[in-house]
Structures are given as C-alpha cells and as structure tokens.
Amino acid sequence: MASDVREHITEWLTGTDTCFLLGAGCSLCAGKPLIGKLTEKVLQGADEKLLQQFAGLKPIGDRPATIEDLINFLVRYRDILGTITSGDGHSITIDEIDSWLTAIKKGIVNEVADDWQSNGHHERFLRRLRGPRERGPRDIFSLNYDTLLEASLDELRLPYIDGFRGTNRAWFDAETFDEGGGGTAYRVFKLHGSINWTRDASGHVRRGRNANKDAADEPVVVYPSEQKYLQTQYGVYETLIGRFRNRLRNASVNNCLVVLGYSFNDEHINEAICDAVIANNSNLTVIAFIGPETDRAKQNERLGAFEERCDSRFNAFIGSGESGKFMGHAIDDDAAREVLNAELWKFEKLVDFIAGEAP
C-alpha cells in the first residue's frame, strides 16, 4: 500500500481526536456470533408460541428480524398490556413475556459469555491506539454484549472507566466517566448493555466480573434500542446514548468517528451519527469499515442514502476486492481501491495494519 494511503488510515485510527464505535464484527475473531447466528442459536428449542411471535415480525428495512427486534417487540407489547384493564383480547400475557425475556437474555449470555477471556487482536488494537505518549482517555462505544474489551484491558493493565463504581457488585454511576485523569487510558461505553450487568431488586444496574453468577436470579441487562422502556430504568441507556451523542459533537477540528464491525442497521445509532454530522458547526468526519452483505445492491442503496443524509462526511469502505465499494470523499478512487484490497473490514486485518504488519 502506498505510503500516503497508509498515512491517511493511520491518522484516522490513531488521531488524538478519534473515537470508536465497535459492532459485532469486531468480536467475530474471538468466536462470538454475529446477530443472525446469535438469533438462530438463542431461539433453538424456544417455546413454540414465542417462535410464532418472532415469525410474525416484519423485516427491518432490507434485513430480517433479529433477536434484538424480538426483545424490542416483547418489551413494547408488555408495556401495552400494562396499560389495559383486561388482556382477554390478547394471545399472550405479561407473565409469558417476562418468562420469554428472561429466557432470551440467559440464552444470549450462554452464547456470548466466556471466563473473562482477553483476545490477542483486541489487546494489540488497544495497545496500538493508546500509544507510548501520555494523552487523555480514548472513547470506545461498543454495541457488543461480550466482555472482550474489559478483559483485554485488564490483561494489558490499562486503566479504564466503564461507568461503574466498586468491584464484584459494582453499581452504575455515570459521573465516573468525568473523573478520569491523565492515567486513564480508555473510557468504555457499552450502549447495548452487557452480559455481566444485572438489575437488582431496587432497580439499580450492577456489574459483576462475568455473567454475574453472584446475581443469578437478577435480570440480565442486555438491550438493543428501545429507549422508552430503558429510560425508566434509572436512565442507564439514556445516559449512555447521551454520552455518545455529546462525544460526536466534540468541537475539535479533527473530530473523527471510526466505525468497525457495525452494519448500520440500528436506527437509533444511525440517527445519533447523522444528527452529529449535520449539526451546526460540526467538524465530525465518519470513517467506516463495513463487511459485505449477501445482497450487495440493497446494502449499497441503504448506505448510499445514509451518506447523502450525512452531507458527504460519511466515508465507508464496504467489503473488499473488485466487489468492494467506497462511499465518500476522504480519499481519491485509486487510494480507496488500495484500502478495499487490504480487507480492513476484517478486524484482525485492520489490527495487523495499524500494528505495521500488513502490506
């Protein structure tokens, strides 16, 4: 790869004013399932009545419904049932929904959890981004339920803030994000919750070491994007998505969001990004490395519409090789083709690149 192209990418990824949004594609190298496979595994052997509810969900845009959409549907349905005097005209009950939600969330934990294992690719990624010089904490926003980031930071002995105080039964306190001094290497915002978060009897969100075996009977706090429900739960989701929105509006002239492993299928996340890009006096540039989908035409159409909404400051490298496509204006076509040929949408290849081990 030409030196000037390499310099561009390295600057995007390691710049002082760069923050990151990580999706499920970044955990694939550690054996974690993408959302389609996770949906399939969690629903294996599920209650037939629940499967009927899932089968009745409409596709979301150009993608099929997922386990996250099912969680959203059940939460909304439960909210409706809670507002009426009789559920006689409905085929499901609040008790059934509660039972299903518990089973689904435990299923997610079973498929995603491990014994607090770090990952070599994540370690190299985090070490390289931190760099040798002192700087303020880097912000990583993650849509993943797994604990790969936290375990890898622990392994590297890099101090980080995740919004909790305490240890095995830590409690969520958003003020911790504002307390990091020069010694804090990272701030980790898990926008969709985590397999080691639970909600205690008082409604407070707690964080344990793993899938929180000490709180086995408490509901697991994993959620996709149902704001109305989550805003009543001590504001955890509202707080985290608010932090995401505020960070994207950073006034720095080199403000940059690098998106890895995310397919741009979550409207709440997309709206936060687009709003920040088109806000008055915004300096935000978005650089996204996106894996190819089966229906490339629909994928290109969806992302092309998003690029147009973002006033040409959305730059996306989609797939790789001859079938790969670049959207944006950050670099010219020849340079973009070099980037696409490097297959940087694969997290492990991107890590090799920034570690100086890729051609």
Quick one: pLDDT at residue 179?
Answer: 86
Same-domain pairing of 189 and 125: yes
Please say which residue of 112, 133, 156 terminates a domain.
Answer: 112
Please state the length of the chain: 359
Report yes or no on 45 lying in a domain.
Answer: yes
Same-domain pairing of 69 and 101: yes
Quick one: pLDDT at residue 232?
Answer: 43
pTM of the model: 0.91
Same-domain pairing of 284 and 327: yes
User: Among 232, 176, 175, 172, which residue's Cα sits nearest to residue 204?
Assistant: 172
Same-domain pairing of 93 and 240: no
| Domain total in the chain | 2
- When computed from its CA atoms, the radius of gyration of the chain, rounded to whole angstroms, is 21
Q: What is d(CA 355, CA 345) in angstroms, rounded to the nearest whole number?
A: 15
Same-domain pairing of 119 and 249: yes
Q: How far, in Å, are 64, 109, 174 from residue 102 at the CA level?
A: 23, 11, 26
**Domain with 309 in it:** 3-34+115-164+184-196+223-354
Report yes or no on 277 lying in a domain.
Answer: yes
Q: What is d(CA 248, CA 139) in angstroms, rounded to the nearest whole number?
A: 10
Same-domain pairing of 75 and 15: no
In the numeric block, which tokens belong to residue 245? 């929105």
Q: Could you tell me the strand order of the sheet in which 138-142 lies? A: 160-161, 186-190, 138-142, 18-22, 256-260, 285-290, 314-318, 325-327
Decide: 187 and 202 in contact? Cβ < 8 Å. no
Residues of the chain with pLDDT under 70: 131-135, 180-182, 210-216, 224-234, 357-359
Same-domain pairing of 44 and 150: no
Same-domain pairing of 120 and 157: yes
Quick one: pLDDT at residue 114?
Answer: 77
Q: Could you tell me the CATH number of the domain that includes residue 296? A: 3.40.50
Report yes or no on 179 lying in a domain.
Answer: no
Same-domain pairing of 160 and 289: yes
Report yes or no on 205 lying in a domain.
Answer: no
User: Among 282, 278, 273, 287, which residue's Cα sits nearest to residue 331?
Assistant: 287
The helix (run of H) or strand (run of E) holding residue 326 is strand 325-327
Q: How many CB atoms lie within 10 A of CB 301?
A: 13
Strand partners, 222: 193
| Per-residue model confidence as pLDDT tens digits over 250-270 | 988 889 999 999 999 888 899
Q: Could you tell me the strand order of the sheet in which 193-199 lies? A: 164-165, 170-172, 205-207, 193-199, 220-222
Decide: 332 and 339 in contact? Cβ < 8 Å. no
Report yes or no on 218 lying in a domain.
Answer: no
Report yes or no on 28 lying in a domain.
Answer: yes
Same-domain pairing of 146 and 261: yes
Residue 324: partners with Cβ closer than 8 Å, 6 or more residues away:
292, 317, 318, 337, 340, 341
- Strand, helix or coil for residue 60: strand
Report yes or no on 289 lying in a domain.
Answer: yes
Strand partners, 171: 165, 206
Decide: 172 and 205 in contact? Cβ < 8 Å. yes
Same-domain pairing of 81 and 230: no
Quick one: pLDDT at residue 72?
Answer: 87
Q: How far, in Å, are 55, 61, 189, 302, 306 from residue 267 at the CA level?
A: 21, 10, 18, 12, 11
Report yes or no on 191 lying in a domain.
Answer: yes
Quick one: pLDDT at residue 141?
Answer: 98
Same-domain pairing of 335 and 270: yes
- Strand, helix or coil for residue 121: helix
Q: How many CB atoms lie within 10 A of CB 214?
A: 12
